[in-house]
Homo-oligomer: A and B are copies of this chain.
C-alpha cells in the first residue's frame, strides 16, 4: 500500500520514513531534462542517495571482462553526481538541524504537478528544546533551462533563536556503495577535479572537470535574504565546496527567508571562462525574474502542458493520481533535454548508470509525440547527432549503415554483455519507428528531411547487412536478441523482423518523398528496391499446430519453464542462469505482444486472442517495460479487467516501489506506459495510413476516461463513459477552425472544432477466457491494494 495519500494533483508525504529515503528522493526528484535534483533533504543528511545530475555529463569507467573478445566496449559512461547546490544547512542555537536528533513534531513534503515544485514543512525541536518551523520550496525551472531555485524559511516558535544558515555548493559528495545487483549502477568515487572557484559576497561559483572524460562543469549560486533584524553574510570556498553563511537572531514568530538561485552549465568544448560567463548570465536573468517570477513561469508552462496532456480517470482516484504523477515525471525527463539523451531513469537517480536504452524511442517518444511533440523532434535529433558513432560501431561489427548503442549517454556503446546488448539490434528499428511516428502524428516534414531520412537509410543499411534471403527468397534475421531478455541470440525474432521490415519500408517511402536528399545520401533506386523486397519477404514465424505466432523461430517448441518451482524466485535473473532462461519458454517482458501492438494490422483477431492467451501464461514481467504493453494487448482482445490490473501495476511501479529499486531512480518508460495503457489500451488509439484510429472501451471500475492528444497541430479530446464516446476538436493547425476525420472502431467519423462527435460505446467480448499468468505473477489487482491496510 502506498504511504502517499490519494490526491489528484500531487504526491504528499506525511511524516518521514528514514528507511525509504531513497525511494522518496526519486519520487520527489525535480528535473527539467537538463538539470536533475533528487529529493534530498535541504540539509543533505540523512540521505538514501545524494544526487544532482546534468544531462549527458558523465564520467568514464572501465568495463572489465573475465574473458575479453573482439568488439567489447572498453569503458562505460556513468552519470556523474555533480556539485550539490541543493544544500542548505541550519544551526539552531548551535544544534544542527537534523531530523534524526531532537523531536520532529511534523514533517510533510508535497510534489505539486501543476506548480512544478517540491515543498517541505518541518516542525522541529532541537535536542536543547529550541523549536523552529522550516519551510522550503524547490523548483527546477522548465522555462530557464540552467536554473534551479529554492525558497527557504525558518521561523522561531516558542522562544528566541540564534540561527546560522549555511547555503552550500559541494562537489564529490560521498555516495553509498551500491549492492551487487547487476542492475544497480556502479558508484563513482570523487570524479571531479577542482578547476576554479569564484567567491562573491552573496554567492560563489565552482568549476570542476571530470577526471577521465574531461568534461567541464560550473555551478553557481547567489542569494537573497530577508529577515526582521540584521543578518551577517559571509562567503568562503575551497576546492570542493563554497559556502554562504547567514547569521541572525529571531524572536518567536519571526522568520528568516532565503532565496537561493542556482545555475548549472557544462561543456566538453568550451573554456572555463566561457562556462563561468554562461552560468553568470543565467543567474543574472533568474535574479531579474525573481523567485516568484520563476514560480509563475513554472505554473504557466505546466498549465499549457496539462491542457494538452491531462488524462482524467473517474472512479479510481489512485489511478488518477498515478497517471498524473507519470505524466509529470515524463515531462520532467524530456522538457528541456534539447538534443541530449532521455535516460531510462530520467535525471532522478543513478540507476542503469544513467543510460539511455531503447525505452526512449519505444516507450517515451510514442507518448510524448501526442502530448509534447517538440521533445520528440529534439530526442531524434540527438540520435542523429550520434550517427557517426553509430556508423563506426556498425563498421567495427562488420556491418553496414549505423548500429546505435544498446545503452549509452553520449552515443558510444556501453553494454558489457553483448547477448543482451549489442545483439539487441532492434533498438535501431525502434529509432526508425519513432522517426516515422513523429511525421505521422505531427505532419511535420522538416525533421524527416533534415535528420529522419538519414536515420531511416542508415538503419536500413544495417538491416540489409544483418538480414539475408534464403534459397526460397524469404528474408531472415539470424542471431539477434529481441525485446525479451530471457531469450537471446535467436533467429527470426518476430518483433525484430517486423520492425526491420517497417524500417526498410519507411526508409524507402521517405527516400521517394525526398529524392534530392536521398541522392545526397547515396540512396539509389536499386537500394530502395532491395529495401522493399526484403520487407515484403520478411519471415513471420508461426506455429501452425498451435495456431500462435512464435516469438522467434522455434520458440513454441522449446521446453517449458518450471514456473511452480520458481514461484518464490523473482526476478528470475537473480535465481537462474541465463543459460536456462534462454533455452526455455519463459518471457521476461512483452516481445511478441509488443509486435502485436505495434504491427496489429498484420495479425488477425483470432491469432491476437490466441497469442495473448499463449504469451500471458509464459510472461513473468521481470522488466518494468512489460505491464503497460500487456495492458494494451489484453484490452485489445477484450480482457479489460486484466488490462486494468496491468495498467495499475505500471502506474504504481514507483509510488509502491513494486520492483524494490525505485530508489535508484524512477522507471520513466513504465510511467510513460501508464498513458499508453490508458490511451492505446482502453482508448484503442492507433494510427494507420495517416489516419488516427480509436476503439474505446472502459473496464469495470472506471466510469470516465478522458484524454487529449495532439494530432497534426490540433488537439483532440476523447471523453469515454460507459455509454458513449465524445470526440472534441480544440484547435487546428492554422487557426481556431479545423476538421478531423478519424476512425472509431474502424468506421470514419468526422469531428470539427465547431461540433463534437458522439459515438456509442460497444463493449468488446473476449474470444477466450481471461488467461492465467505464471504462478505468483498475476498482476496485483488494485482492489486488493485499496482494501489493504498501510504496510
Contact = CB atoms under 8 A, between A and B. Distances in A.
Given A478-B559, A488-B489, A557-B470, A65 B578 contact: no
Nearest to A574: B70
Contacts of A557: 470, 476
Contacts of A580: 397-399, 479
Given A66-B63, A180-B68, A182-B69, A578 B478 contact: no
Contacts of A71: 576-579
A478 B558 contact: yes
A576 B66 contact: no
A579 B422 contact: yes
B578 A69 contact: yes
Nearest to A417: B67
A491 interface: yes
Interface string A366-410: 000000000000000000000000000000111100000000000
Contacts of A64: 64-66
Interface string A546-576: 0000000110011100000000000001111
Contact of A576 (B70, B478, B558): B70
A489 B582 contact: yes
A704 interface: no
A426 to B, nearest CB: 14
Contacts of A96: none
Q: How large is the interface on A (under 10, 10 to 19, 20 to 34, 35 or more residues)?
A: 35 or more
A742 interface: no
A64 B66 CA distance: 5
B70 A397 contact: no
A419 interface: yes
Interface string A36-68: 000000000000000000000000000111111
A468 interface: yes
B65 A579 contact: no
A269 to B, nearest CB: 29
Nearest to A466: B583
A9 interface: no
Contacts of A396: 577
A8 interface: no
A418 interface: yes
A342 to B, nearest CB: 22
Given A419-B419, A480-B583, 8 more contacts: A66-B72, A66-B76, A70-B577, A71-B576, A71-B577, A397-B580, A478-B558, A478-B559
9 contacts: A70-B574, A70-B576, A398-B577, A398-B580, A418-B578, A479-B582, A488-B489, A491-B558, A553-B554
Interface of A: 63-72, 76, 180, 182, 396-399, 415-419, 422-423, 468, 470, 476, 478-480, 488-489, 491, 553-554, 557-559, 573-580, 582-584
